[in-house]
Amino acid sequence: MKKLTALLMAAVMVFALCACSDSAAVESTETAEATTGAAETLNIKVGFICLHDENSTYDLNFINGAKEACEKLGITPIIKTNIPEGQECYDAACELADQGCEFIFADSFGHEDYMIEAAKEFPNIQFAHATGTKAHTENLANFHNAFASIYEGRYLAGIVAGMKLNEMIENGTITADQAKMGYVGAYTYAEVVSGYTSFYLGAKSVCPSVTMDVTFTGSWYDETAERESANKLISGGCVLISQHADSMGAPTACEAAGVPDVSYNGSTAAACPNTFLVSSRINWAPYFEYAIKATANKEAFATDYVGTIATDSVVLTDLGSAVANGTKEAIDDAKAKLQAGSLHVFDTATFTVGGETLTSYMADVDTDAEFTPDHEVITNGYFNESGDGFRSAPYFDIQIDGINLLDVNFG
Amino acid sequence: MKKKKHEKLFHMVKRDDISTSVRVAIKLGAIVIALVLCAVITTVATGYNPVEVFFSFIDGAFGSSRKIWITMQDTAILLLISIALTPAFRMRFWNIGGEGQILMGGLGAAFVMMNFGESLPSGVVMLLMIVSSIFLGALWGFIPAICKAKWNTNETLSTLMLNYIATQLVAFFIVYKVPSGSAVIGIINQKTRAGWMPELFGSKYMLTILIAVILTISLYFYVNNSKQGYELRVVGESEKTAQYVGIKVGWVIVRTMIISGALCGLVGLLLVGSKDHTITTTITRGLGFTAIMVSWMAKFNPFIMIPASLLIVFMNKGANNMASAVGLNESFGEILLGIILFFIIGSEFFVNYKIAIKKDRKKNNSEKSENKGLTDVSKNKYEKY
């Protein structure tokens, strides 16, 4: 039992340590507060509700955006993490309201209904929600949806991919017919369909012979499934891979197989230096800044906000070392055209559906249980994705020619 | 010679009986030591002032009247699941299928809400919800019970596997209802509120709390003071004894599990009809497993489960609040909860045993042998848990 005495001694020593370090802790928090001075200072409290915490790339992207915007405005956000898509979201929103927050934001699709409940209860507080679909039909003055035209970012990323394919064709690595890309998607709904179609159209704009295989994992984050899907696509003859799912599964599979990869939500250059081409992501900071400012000034702001390349809401990472020559010029050129409005991602002249050019399409813009098509979205020769007067969340769900779905089972 | 020299300074002596005050003192002592250790770890690992962290815990659980209500509601739900599992545990039937039984109850309620919510009068809808969720929960308890009673299957495995089946059934239901969406049902009948359980005394949290209070008291008397409760306790102690005194063991197993499953189904009803108003595969939040720990920690006493549930809910809420207030990750709160539970459960050792110092050894030994004949065997058996 000498051990016990030894243990007791050890415990006493740790206590002594604890007593010493108390004062240090207090000091460090004080200095942290002192450094948060900023150019602009608004007198407003804001709250953010996240499905997971900073360990998820999806939530990290929101948390970073929130911190960036708040630092610029000289305020400290209250960020609640790991809030499930249930009553906890409503509770969290109400608690933030109780604490005096005037602008409250939630980041996950399943949070929407609970935010609407809270919005009804606190009519003087602004509630905003990313990726949601109901704000434009809910008729609540204090409930807002926000998204970004990430399809423009994916289109540009597609150009990078197309340029790479052209390089491979020129080098004789593949023939023009073998220019087949692979895409690892999460689910089969509009957000993903809109994403892979715009990526494909971007590639096709520079490499006309390109085709694409798409497979779905049925999960937003499943590293094993994403890696296996990428391997499946590669062994099926795909020479370039992209993804719309949140793990490192596909990029690492590509690095192992030496296949060029376009990733999502942030650069994977550090882990995949040889195969990383480019990545696109939504930058939420401009929206947060806009919405918080409007709330502080008691001004109305957009019910459905769509951030664009022009608002800096859609951004590309730095290009990887594996990209083809002339890529930078090609995307700068396309970016300028997109901003000027002379180029449309879903221009009906650039794709066919069942061999026909699309002249009319009724999309399910207004949310209802049966997904009834309700709005004509082909205007001026292009599919008006996330257009003015419609909702911000994507509704492009058409299967176009040249894209081959390997499986469609993940509703 | 050597043996004598190495004779241990301390040794363990089994306690034969222990007064309530000593027992409470041991438990409180364990919690105090655990809290001190938590404080030490907080400071060493993070550099934060442990007092600050502790106050952010309290603020998270009790910081406003809304937070108090939510804490009470969550405690009520955890308590309800714990007492639902208890009759089975007292029977030594290891029902770890609480998750599945709750999910099935929730599925029943959601099915009725979505299919009949708008077409039938609300009273009928609620009645149908109650019946279907209790029935499905009971069914999920009945299946492993009948297998155990008829073929002596291992209930730990069967209840666990039925959890997965329930999860998949819910997943199937969601995909069936939302075929081309994002696999999120969202709030059911948000506009009409059809099938939403009533608010009592103007509080949406009250119904769950009230049901928890009523059922906790009822279950205490059911297990301890009723004939059926006696039967299940005898079956738990010795099936052979039960058979000998004419108890139909198979029937007691089935009956008890139907009750256990039905109560879990009721929790599913409360989650879907009163709390979340939706159905997801994760709607139980793992509470079906947490409740097993609560039930054991409280030694299957429904009244002790009240503070046990409250402690766990308090720590969860506190950890969540700490994550946003102090800027520590929520996982840190879970580490602290782990430490506290370790000490509480570990203190059981000191309730059952005492440490004797060498010179007292002889005296203790003689005391022990004297008392041995007097102990009530059945009582002792439960004391172990």
> Per-domain residue ranges for chain A?
45-130, 150-284+296-405
Q: pTM of this prediction? A: 0.80
Asked if A91 and B277 come within 8 Å (Cβ–Cβ), the reply is no
B115 contacts chain A (CB < 8 A): no
Residue B1: pLDDT band (50, 70, 90) is very low
Mutate to test the interface with B, among A46, A111, A113, A129 (most CBs of B within 10 A): A113
Tell me the mean pLDDT in the region B82-111.
95
- pLDDT (tens digit, 9 = 90+) per residue, A126-181? 999 998 888 888 889 999 999 999 999 999 999 999 999 999 999 999 999 999 99
Query: What is the C-alpha radius of gyration for chain A, rounded to an integer number of angstroms?
Result: 24
Asked if A15 and B181 come within 8 Å (Cβ–Cβ), the reply is no
A109 contacts chain B (CB < 8 A): yes
End-to-end Cα distance, chain A: 62
**Res A277 pLDDT > 50:** yes
Asked if A18 and B50 come within 8 Å (Cβ–Cβ), the reply is yes
Residue A105: pLDDT band (50, 70, 90) is very high
Tokens for B292? 């097993």
What integer best gives the mean pLDDT of chain A?
85
Q: What is the DSSP string of A50-112?
A: -SS-TTSHHHHHHHHHHHHHHHHHT---EEE-S--SSHHHHHHHHHHHHTTEEEEEE-SGGGH
Residues of chain B neighbouring A396 (CB-CB closer than 8 A): none
Nearest CA in chain B to A14: B40
Residues of chain A neighbouring B32 (CB-CB closer than 8 A): none
Enumerate residues 6+ apart whose C-beta is below 8 A from B262: B134, B135, B137, B138, B141
pLDDT the model gives residue B380: 44
Q: Which residue has the higher pLDDT, B320 or A192?
A: A192
CB burial of residue A166 (10 Å; 0-12, 13-18, 19+): buried
Residue A387: pLDDT band (50, 70, 90) is confident
Asked if B48 and A25 come within 8 Å (Cβ–Cβ), the reply is yes
**Res B305 pLDDT > 90:** yes
Tell me the mean pLDDT in the region A43-60.
87
Question: Which residue, chain included where needed, has tokens 């959601």?
Answer: B110
CB A360, CB A378: distance < 8 Å: yes
Helix (H, G, I), strand (E, B), or coil: what is residue A283?
coil
Q: Which of B43, B52, B280 lies closest to A85 in CB terms?
A: B280
B43 contacts chain A (CB < 8 A): yes
Residue B359: pLDDT band (50, 70, 90) is low
A45-130: CATH number: 3.40.50.2300
Mutate to test the interface with A, among B11, B170, B172, B187 (most CBs of A within 10 A): B187
CB pairs under 8 A between A and B: 97
B173 contacts chain A (CB < 8 A): no
- pLDDT (tens digit, 9 = 90+) per residue, B28-40? 899 889 888 988 8
Residues of chain B neighbouring A18 (CB-CB closer than 8 A): 39-40, 43-44, 50
Residues of chain A neighbouring B66 (CB-CB closer than 8 A): 91, 94-95, 98
**Res B10 pLDDT > 90:** no
CA separation, residue B13 to residues B5, B29, B363, B364, B368 (Å): 21, 20, 11, 8, 8
CB B113, CB B194: distance < 8 Å: yes
Distance in angstroms (rounded) separating the CA atoms of residues B67 and B213: 19
pLDDT the model gives residue A35: 42
Q: Which of A26, A98, A114 lies closest to B49 in CB terms?
A: A26
A36 contacts chain B (CB < 8 A): no
Residues of chain A neighbouring B178 (CB-CB closer than 8 A): 411
Distance in angstroms (rounded) separating the CA atoms of residues A360 and A367: 20
β-pair type (A240-244, A261-264): parallel
Enumerate residues 6+ apart whose C-beta is below 8 A from A30: none
A366 contacts chain B (CB < 8 A): no
Distance in angstroms (rounded) separating the CA atoms of residues A247 and A224: 9
Residue B377: pLDDT band (50, 70, 90) is very low
Q: Which CATH architecture has domain A150-284+296-405?
A: 3-Layer(aba) Sandwich (3.40)
Distance in angstroms (rounded) separating the CA atoms of residues A235 and A411: 25
Give chain A's count of helices (H) and strands (E): 11, 17
CB A206, CB A409: distance < 8 Å: no
Tokens for B137? 């929960």
Q: Which of B113, B111, B97, B84 is nearest to B167 (CA)?
A: B97
Query: Across the strands, what pairs with A376?
Result: A362
CA separation, residue A181 to residues A116, A170, A261, A275, B253 (Å): 40, 17, 10, 14, 59
CB B158, CB B143: distance < 8 Å: yes
Residue A117: pLDDT band (50, 70, 90) is very high
Would the ipTM clear 0.95, i.e. be above it? Answer: no
Helix (H, G, I), strand (E, B), or coil: what is residue B307?
helix
Tokens for A84? 């499930």
Residues of chain B neighbouring A411 (CB-CB closer than 8 A): 175, 178-181, 183
Helix (H, G, I), strand (E, B), or coil: what is residue A144?
strand
pLDDT the model gives residue B6: 64
Residues of chain B neighbouring A112 (CB-CB closer than 8 A): 186
Distance in angstroms (rounded) separating the CA atoms of residues A362 and B121: 36
A58 contacts chain B (CB < 8 A): no
Q: Which of B25, B78, B360 is nearest to B208 (CA)?
A: B78
Count CB atoms within 10 A of the CB of residue A218: 17
A61: left (phi over 0), alpha (psi -120 to 50) or beta: alpha
pLDDT the model gives residue B16: 74
Residues of chain B neighbouring A1 (CB-CB closer than 8 A): 8-10
**Res A23 pLDDT > 60:** no
Distance in angstroms (rounded) separating the CA atoms of residues B268 and A143: 30
Residue A15: pLDDT band (50, 70, 90) is very low
pLDDT the model gives residue B327: 67
The whole-angstrom distance between B205's CA and the closest CA on chain A is 11
Asked if B186 and A112 come within 8 Å (Cβ–Cβ), the reply is yes
Which range, of A274-288, A374-388, A392-406, averages the lowest pLDDT? A374-388
Tokens for A250? 């596909």
pLDDT the model gives residue B9: 76
A256 contacts chain B (CB < 8 A): no
B189: left (phi over 0), alpha (psi -120 to 50) or beta: left
Tell me the mean pLDDT in the region B83-111.
95
- pLDDT (tens digit, 9 = 90+) per residue, B207-249? 999 999 999 999 999 999 999 999 999 998 888 899 898 899 9
CA separation, residue B256 to residues A189, A348, B93, B163, B378 (Å): 45, 66, 9, 19, 21
**Res B3 pLDDT > 80:** no
Max Cα–Cα distance, chain A, nearest Å: 87
- What's phi and psi for A240, nearest 5 deg? -155, 140
Q: Which of B39, B276, B329 lies closest to A53 in CB terms?
A: B329
What integer best gives the mean pLDDT of chain B?
86
**Res B365 pLDDT > 70:** no
pLDDT the model gives residue A296: 92
**Res B7 pLDDT > 90:** no
Asked if A84 and B43 come within 8 Å (Cβ–Cβ), the reply is no
**Res B379 pLDDT > 50:** no
Asked if B183 and A411 come within 8 Å (Cβ–Cβ), the reply is yes
Tokens for A267? 């650069």
- pLDDT (tens digit, 9 = 90+) per residue, B161-174? 999 999 999 999 98
Tell me the mean pLDDT in the region B327-340.
79
